[in-house]
């Protein structure tokens, strides 16, 4: 700063070199790049599991001639397709901000997550139409021999494990795709349970319960799909993602700060953008006020999970307004 003071003042503003504060690395726990790498790893593991489930169902269905298992296997194959869509979305989302996308590319992941919601609507439609086909007699009732039951139970276990794994990682990594895909995998669990229950009910002499079950399952899947679409559309439409008081509580503890207003947040859980007005002690000069501004930015990035970008409009506090004491120089 001292060399600036020695330089003769000019009448026109020049592009000033960034201060060291502006070049400081973000204080967040996990960088966007590292989080993206971990999300991709989760998706590769999930892809491997989903593909093995699908291939074993198709192979068994083919060998045994049980059509419903083979069909279920092809459905499981679409889970792997979803994983690939997720990998693509996360890959694009991880690219750093550039001149064309100065706010970064995080919304590519939100778009991919929206595709998961759409695929659930297709799945609900499929459950309904195949039940209707059985009802009208154009398709045979589902049958399960004991070995088929074993195949379904094993794949059910894999699905439960995948859903739990994705759910936990989505929270740790702030990934909307993993959260959406976890909800989708939970729906798969329900579908498989439905297949088992329906076969049991039909064999026990209650065939009328087949369409009733199908209606219930399709309704639940469609509802899950709509929830996923709604949530991700909210992210795309810049809905608020943090409670303003959560931001205010952090900022009001920063030295030099008197008050805060016009708090706005948007983005998705792993990529939250915050902008706000901060009123600082009015005796501070520009250099000190700039320092306070960066304390605010660092406090928000380090104390609120998922905050990646903070823009502060700094203004002087009112005359006589109380402010947090500044630390000794």
* Interface stretch with Zn ion, choices 14-22, 111-119, 196-204, 239-247 (CB under 5 A): 14-22
Q: Among the candidate windows 47-55, 93-101, 245-253, 274-282, which touches Zn ion by CB under 5 A? A: 274-282
Measured at the CA of 124, the angle between CA 43 and CA 74, to 5 degrees, comes to 55
Q: Smaller CB distance to Zn ion: residue 253 or 313?
A: 313
Binding to Zn ion (CB under 5 A) within 19-38 occurs at 22
Q: Which is nearer to Zn ion, 167 or 277 (CB)?
A: 277
Do 185 and 86 meet the contact criterion of CB atoms below 8 Å apart? no
What are the residue ranges of helices labelled H in the chain? 2-6, 20-23, 32-64, 67-93, 107-135, 146-173, 176-203, 209-236, 244-251, 286-303
Count of C-beta atoms within a 10 Å radius of residue 50 = 26
Least distance to Zn ion from the beta carbon of 240, Å? 18
Sign of CA dihedral 6, 11, 13, 15: negative
Question: Which CB sits closer to Zn ion, 228 or 307?
Answer: 307
Instruction: Between 21 and 215, name the residue whose CB sits nearer to Zn ion.
Output: 21
- The region of 17-25, 210-218, 233-241, 263-271 touching Zn ion under the rule CB under 5 A is 17-25
Distances (CA, A) of 325 to 247, 282, 284: 20, 12, 11
Q: Name which of 277 and 282 has its Cβ closer to Zn ion.
A: 277
Q: Shortest distance, CB of residue 22 to Zn ion, whole angstroms?
A: 4
Of 277, 282, 288, 298, the one binding Zn ion by CB under 5 A: 277
- DSSP letter (8 states) at residue 15: -
Q: Shortest gap between Cβ of 291 and Zn ion (angstroms)?
A: 9
Burial class (CB in 10 A: 0-12, 13-18, 19+), 10: exposed
Rank residues 37 and 277 by Cβ distance to Zn ion and give the closer one: 277
Q: Is 91 in the site for Zn ion (CB under 5 A)?
A: no
At closest approach, how far in Å is the CB of 263 from Zn ion?
11
Q: Which of 24, 26, 28 shows the shortest CA–CA distance to 305?
A: 28
* Interface residues toward Zn ion, by CB under 5 A: 22, 277
């Amino acid at each position: 700063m001292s060399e600036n003071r020695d330089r003769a003042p000019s009448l026109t503003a020049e592009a000033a070199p960034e201060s060291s504060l502006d070049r400081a690395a973000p204080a967040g726990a996990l960088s966007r790049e590292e989080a993206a790498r971990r999300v991709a790893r989760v998706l590769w593991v999930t892809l491997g599991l989903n593909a093995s489930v699908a291939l074993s169902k198709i192979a068994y269905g083919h060998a045994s001639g049980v059509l419903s298992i083979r069909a279920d296997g092809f459905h499981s194959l679409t889970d792997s397709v979803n994983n690939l869509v997720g990998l693509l979305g996360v890959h694009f989302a991880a690219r750093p901000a550039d001149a064309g996308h100065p706010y970064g590319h995080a919304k590519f992941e939100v778009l991919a997550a929206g595709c998961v919601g759409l695929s659930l609507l297709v799945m609900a439609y499929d459950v309904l139409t195949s039940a209707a086909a059985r009802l009208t007699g154009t398709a045979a009732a589902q049958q399960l021999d004991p070995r088929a039951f074993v195949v379904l139970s094993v794949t059910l276990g894999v699905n439960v494990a995948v859903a739990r794994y994705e759910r936990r990682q989505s929270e740790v990594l702030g990934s909307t795709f993993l959260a959406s895909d976890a909800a989708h995998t939970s729906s798969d669990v329900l579908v498989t349970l439905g297949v088992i229950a329906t076969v049991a009910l039909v064999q026990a002499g209650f065939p009328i319960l087949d369409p009733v079950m199908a209606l219930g399952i399709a309704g639940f899947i469609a509802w899950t799909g709509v929830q996923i679409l709604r949530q991700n559309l909210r992210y795309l439409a810049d809905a608020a993602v943090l409670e303003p008081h959560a931001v205010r509580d952090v900022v009001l503890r920063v030295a030099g700060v008197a008050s805060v207003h016009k708090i706005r947040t948007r983005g998705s859980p792993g990529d939250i953008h915050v902008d706000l007005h901060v009123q600082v002690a009015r005796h501070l000069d520009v250099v000190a006020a700039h320092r306070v501004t960066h304390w605010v930015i660092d406090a928000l990035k380090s104390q609120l999970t998922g905050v990646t970008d903070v823009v502060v409009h700094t203004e002087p506090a009112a005359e006589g307004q109380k402010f947090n004491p500044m630390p000794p120089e």
